[in-house]
Chains A and B, each alone.
Chain A
Amino acid sequence: MKISDIILLASDNLKRNIFRTALTAFGVAVGIGSLSSMISLGKGVSTNISKQMESNDIFTGLTMSSRSMDFDGYSNKTILSDDKKQTVPLSDSTIKEILSWEEVATAFPEQIKPATINLEGKSVVTNIKAIPLEMNGFYPFTKINPGSFYTSESEPCVIMSKIVLDKMGITTPYDSLIGKNIEIITRVFDLDKIDLITSKKKQLPVKNDTTILKIKGIVQTTSFSAGIFNDGIFLPPMTCSFIPSIDLRNVYDIINGEQGKYGKYNTVHIRVKEYAMLKPVKLRLEEKGFSVFSIGDKLEDFEKIFFMLDTVMAVIGSIALIISIFGIVNTLIMAIYERRKEIGIMKSLGATAGQIKMIFYFEAAIIGFGGGVFGVLCGKLISQASGKIANSQLGNFFDSNIEYFSFSWEIVFFSILFSVLVSVIASIYPANKASKIDPLNALRRE
């Protein structure tokens, strides 16, 4: 008996009860559909999102501070009392030491000044941030478009971020913004007004200072980024230091009467070379008494959510598949009863037990194949739809659309193969039963 014969015989049998066949195959399709989309989700999340995050800074970025801030207790922003945690000053030598570590790609002090910026007649209160030249080539400065990164530490220019432009409500095409002047207004001490305090006129001894710089580039970051790059505008360090501003930290120090206790810098931004190094570096810094924060840690929570989603789908898929296996067994056993006489005739014509079994295996395989193909198709459609929904919900976290589902040809191939395999396994018992039919019994007149 040739395979083509078996397929023909099997499909003839299936055609005779096309509705039942379709229902059985549909059961298989549900199982395979949910299983395949689950696998593609698992794969999609682990490859695409990870890739996305790796290209992002959250995987490799750390923020370290001298103060023992409880970053995790984000909501209450507690500053732990000093005797609870010793403070280690953040100075140039600290940064130098950190830079000498093998795992560290770069590190720089986070210098932030509050400012109001005016552009195109619109204004916003934000921070200006000093970013060293070394950050060229690191996320998010790999995403400058249009424009480019600055080429010297004192270039009189800024890099705008898309987030700030959005906040300002600027809709001008970005290309035309390059080279435009931007007004940066900072607050400085007004020595003239100090007298006025003593004369009891209630006015703070401050005044505005305006700096004008050119826009050099626009960085296309999204909010899914480590702290310092979330918003604000970025400046070469020297340029930034020329902009006068009241350093609030100094004020804090003065008030506490312990100038220099926290060192020269508030916080230092560190980039490790790869994600695997994030934890070790974090631990090392914490051992030294620094307080360290990284969103990379939060990735685990993110992964947990996807893992849970995956598990739920796996359970649904498995249950559906188990039910569909029973469906196949049931369909084939019903077929045995219906075709008892026919099987008897076949045996009287010389069909062997093996040949009878083969017909049943192939019937199951065809159901499995049909169900598998249909299931994979549905799985693909469902995952495409859910991918779109996920993108519309989570889109602003990421720079571009993410393929949450990686529905590769391998998944298609192996899902269908698996479907066929499971179906054939389900048919073993019915096939065995059919092959044992006694032709004499089957042909006896009732």
Chain B
Amino acid sequence: MALIQVEKLSKTYKKGDNKIYALRNINFDIQEGEYVSIVGKSGSGKSTLLNLLGGMDTSAEGGVYYNGKNLLTMNEKDLSYHRKFTVGMIFQSFNLIPSRTAIDNVKLPLIFSNYPVMLRETRACELLYNMGLYNRALHYPSELSGGEAQRVAIARALANKPKVILADEPTGNLDTATSAEIIGLLKMFNEKHNITIIMVTHDKETAYKVSHKTILLSDGEIIKITSNQNK
């Protein structure tokens, strides 16, 4: 069975009497360990889809199944469990908490997951070390470069050992070299730790290059799913 199954997923926004389809009858499966890219023009519904996969949004029709359980019908408690342990999210704008140092940002999900207090420091250090940020642990987000900030965000997303990383344009605010670095990191975690990556990007070229599967969206509909089994 696929890790993630999206079935007949539709989402509409109501604007007065008008119904805007952000997503229209989306169907696809994602296997554990896959690197999936979602591409498409601005406004095509990529973020909307990713948020539904992340359990950040449940107001849609159809189904988003993780191991057979539909996120759209889950209660608040199970949803936060999903966000805590099943997925890790990273964003274009990093979304680090500015008042907390890098290491404290990484520790935050460990607090919510009741990770043993004694081991948190070690865990957070290990994560930052893996991101090459060991000497940035006590920096505040404002003292970090974009690439560093995004790596802290990745470390934070990985803190509770999720199966899936959901990344919404993680390189959108970064230059080409740094972008490549971030994509490389994600690819490394995908390959080494079998972490499923679902990444929204504008950059079709990179998408085709790194992903096992690329989903092309247009106006809320899937135009094409490209598989590259060599990856």
A in complex with B? yes
* Bound form: Cα–Cα A16–B84 in Å: 26
User: Once bound together, how far apart are the Cα atoms of A33 and B96, in whole Å?
Assistant: 41
A412 to B17 alpha-carbon distance, docked (Å): 62
From 51 to 74 in chain B, residues with beta carbon under 8 angstroms from any chain A beta carbon are 51, 54, 56-57
- Say how far B14's CB is from chain A's closest CB, in angstroms: 16
**Chain B residues within 8 Å of A9, by CB:** 111
Q: Is the CB of B111 within 8 A of A352?
A: no
Among B85-93, B125-133, B191-199, B223-231, the stretch that binds chain A is B85-93
Does B122 sit at the interface, judged by CB under 8 A? Answer: no
Bound state CA distance, A351 and B79, in angstroms? 10
Contact flag A4-B117 (CB < 8 Å), given A342-B97, A445-B93: yes
**Contact between B95 and A348 (Cβ–Cβ < 8 Å)?**
yes
Q: How many interface residues does chain B have, given as a range?
A: 20 to 34
Q: Are A349 and B56 in contact (CB under 8 A)?
A: no
**A84 part of interface (Cβ distance < 8 Å):** no
From B85, which residue of chain A is reached at the shortest CB distance?
Answer: A350
Is A77 interfacial (CB 8 A cutoff)?
no
**Contact (Cβ within 8 A) A348 B93:** no
Closest chain B residue, CB of each to CB of A344: B95
Contacts of A299 in B (CB 8 A): none
A350 adjacent to B84 (CB under 8 Å): yes
Picked from A4, A341, A348, the residue with its CB within 8 Å of the CB of B89 is A348
- From 1 to 29 in chain A, residues with beta carbon under 8 angstroms from any chain B beta carbon are 1-2, 4-5, 9, 12, 16
Q: How far is the CA of A443 from the CA of B85 in the complex (A)?
A: 20
Shortest Cβ gap from A12 to chain B (Å) = 7
B19 within 8 A of A: no
Do residues B80 and A1 form an inter-chain contact, with CB atoms below 8 A? no
The answer to whether A350 touches B83, judged by C-beta atoms less than 8 angstroms apart, is: yes
Task: Give min CB distance, A10 to chain B, whole Å.
Answer: 12
Contact B57 A350 (CB under 8 A): no
Known contacts A350-B84, A440-B51; is-contact A345 B112 (Cβ 8 Å): no
Does B99 have its Cβ within 8 Å of any Cβ on chain A?
Answer: yes
Closest residue on chain B to residue A12 by CB atoms: B99
Of all chain B residues, the one with the shortest Cβ separation from A436 is B76
Q: How far is the CA of A248 from the CA of B97 in the complex (A)?
A: 96
> A346 near B: Cβ within 8 Å?
yes
A346 touches B93 (CB 8 A): no
Distance in angstroms from A50 CB to nearest chain B CB is 53
Instruction: Confirm or deny: A135 has a beta carbon within 8 angstroms of a beta carbon on chain B.
Output: no
Given contacts A5-B111, A350-B81, A351-B112, contact A439 B76 (CB under 8 A): no
Asked whether any CB of chain B lies closer than 8 Å to the CB of A347, the reply is yes
Q: Chain A's nearest CB lies how many Å from the CB of B36?
A: 20
Closest CB of chain A to B84's CB: distance in Å? 2
A353 to B112, CA, bound (A): 11
| A349-B112 in contact given A16-B99, A342-B97, A445-B93 (Cβ < 8 Å) | yes
Contact residues in A for B76 (Cβ distance below 8 Å): 352-353
B-side contacts of A12, CB under 8 Å: 99-100
B 88-115 contacts with A by CB, 8 A: 89, 91, 93, 95-97, 99-100, 108-109, 111-114
**In the bound complex, what is the Cα–Cα distance between A5 and B54 (angstroms)?**
25
Q: Which residues of A contact B117 (CB under 8 A)?
A: 2, 4-5
Interface status of A355 (Cβ within 8 A of chain B):
yes
The minimal Cβ–Cβ distance linking B107 to chain A, given in whole angstroms, is 9
Please name all residues of chain B whose beta carbon is closer than 8 Å to the beta carbon of A5 when the two chains form the complex.
111, 117
The reply to whether the CB of B160 lies closer than 8 angstroms to some CB of chain A is yes
Q: Which of B56, B100, B113 has the most chain A CB within a 10 Å cutoff?
A: B56
Q: How far is the CB of A200 from chain B (nearest CB, A)?
A: 109
Q: A440-B56, A440-B57, A443-B95 are in contact. Are A348 and B83 (CB under 8 A)?
A: yes
Nearest B residue to A2, CB-CB: B117
* B120 (CB) vs chain A CBs: closest residue: A5
Quick one: which of B51, B82, B85 has the most chain A CB within 10 A? B51
Chain A residues, Cβ within 8 Å of B80:
347, 350-353
From residue A435, how far is it (CB to closest CB) to chain B in Å?
A: 9
B108 touches A443 (CB 8 A): no
B112–A350 CB distance below 8 A = yes
Chain A proximity of B225: nearest CB distance (Å): 25
Which of B85, B89, B156, B160 has the most A CB atoms < 10 Å from its CB? B89
Is B15 in the interface zone, CB < 8 Å from A?
no
Q: Closest Cβ of chain B: how far from A348's Cβ, in Å?
A: 5
Residues in B with CB closer than 8 Å to A445 are 93
Residues on the A chain within 8 Å of B99, using CB: 12, 16, 342
Q: How far apart are the CA atoms of A1 and B111 in the complex, in Å?
A: 6
Collect the chain A residues with CB atoms within 8 Å of residue B85's CB.
350
Complex: how many Å from CA A342 to CA B99?
Answer: 10
Q: A348-B54, A349-B156 are in contact. Are A443 and B84 (CB under 8 A)?
A: no
Contacts of A16 in B (CB 8 A): 99
Pick from B51, B84, B93: contact of A349, CB below 8 A: B84
Q: Which of B56, B77, B81, B111 sits near A348, CB closer than 8 Å?
A: B56
B160 touches A350 (CB 8 A): yes
Q: Specify which chain B residues have a CB less than 8 angstroms from the CB of A355 in the assembled complex.
A: 112
Q: Is the CB of B114 within 8 A of A1?
A: yes
Q: How far is the CB of B200 from chain A (nearest CB, A)?
A: 14
Could you say which of B91, B111, B113, B117 has the most chain A C-beta atoms within 10 Å of its C-beta? B111
Are A346 and B108 in contact, CB atoms less than 8 angstroms apart? Answer: yes
Residues 232-269 of A, flagged 1 when their CB comes within 8 A of B and 0 if not, give: 00000000000000000000000000000000000000
Q: 17 A-B residue contacts at CB 8 Å?
A: A2-B114, A4-B117, A9-B111, A12-B100, A16-B99, A341-B95, A342-B97, A342-B99, A345-B97, A349-B84, A350-B80, A350-B109, A350-B160, A351-B112, A353-B76, A355-B112, A440-B57
Known contacts A345-B97, A347-B80, A348-B89; 15 additional CB pairs below 8 A are: A1-B112, A5-B117, A9-B111, A16-B99, A342-B97, A348-B95, A349-B83, A350-B80, A350-B81, A350-B85, A352-B80, A352-B112, A353-B80, A355-B112, A440-B51
Nearest 5 A/B pairs, CB to CB: A350-B84, A350-B83, A349-B109, A352-B80, A351-B112
